[in-house]
Amino acid sequence: MKDYHWLALISMFFAGFTSVIAKAGLRHVSGDTGLLVRTLFVTGFVLLNALWMKSHSELRSLTRTDILFLGISGLTTALSWIFYYRAIKVGQVHEVALIDKASIVVSISLSILFLGETLTWKTVAGGFLIVSGLLIMLL
């Protein structure tokens, strides 16, 4: 396994907890209010991490294009989180998380189209299995 696979597995583990914990925190507030509180915590933790890892010194290296793409990524993240939190407030977490994680198919497609990443038979098979599992669980 490659080093970044371990990082992705750790991310997956924490992401799995995120939805369940968030749903528990939404008992008395809307998804929008819950997301606001969560985002404030995320901002604080990310800032502390940047200071700890000394990556804040790289800010001068950013180009306008980097900032544009990171800004657009922030916008799409915000939109994703807004709709995700509204969905888990009223829906079943396992269903919402399943649909949300199917975004991997969108990521695969866009990474091939815009980043020139390679499409392999394993990627096609994995994407097909993800979509098939999604359909099985939802229908």
For residue 1, the model assigns a pLDDT of 86
- Give me the percent of the chain exceeding a pLDDT of 70: 100
pTM equals: 0.87
24-69 pLDDT tens trace: 999 999 999 999 999 999 999 999 999 999 988 899 999 999 999 9
Domain boundaries, the chain: 3-91, 102-139
Q: Report d(CA 77, CA 75) in Å as an integer.
A: 5
Question: Band of the pLDDT at 137, cuts 50, 70, 90?
Answer: confident
Phi, psi of 88 (to 5 degrees): -70, -25
For residue 56, the model assigns a pLDDT of 81
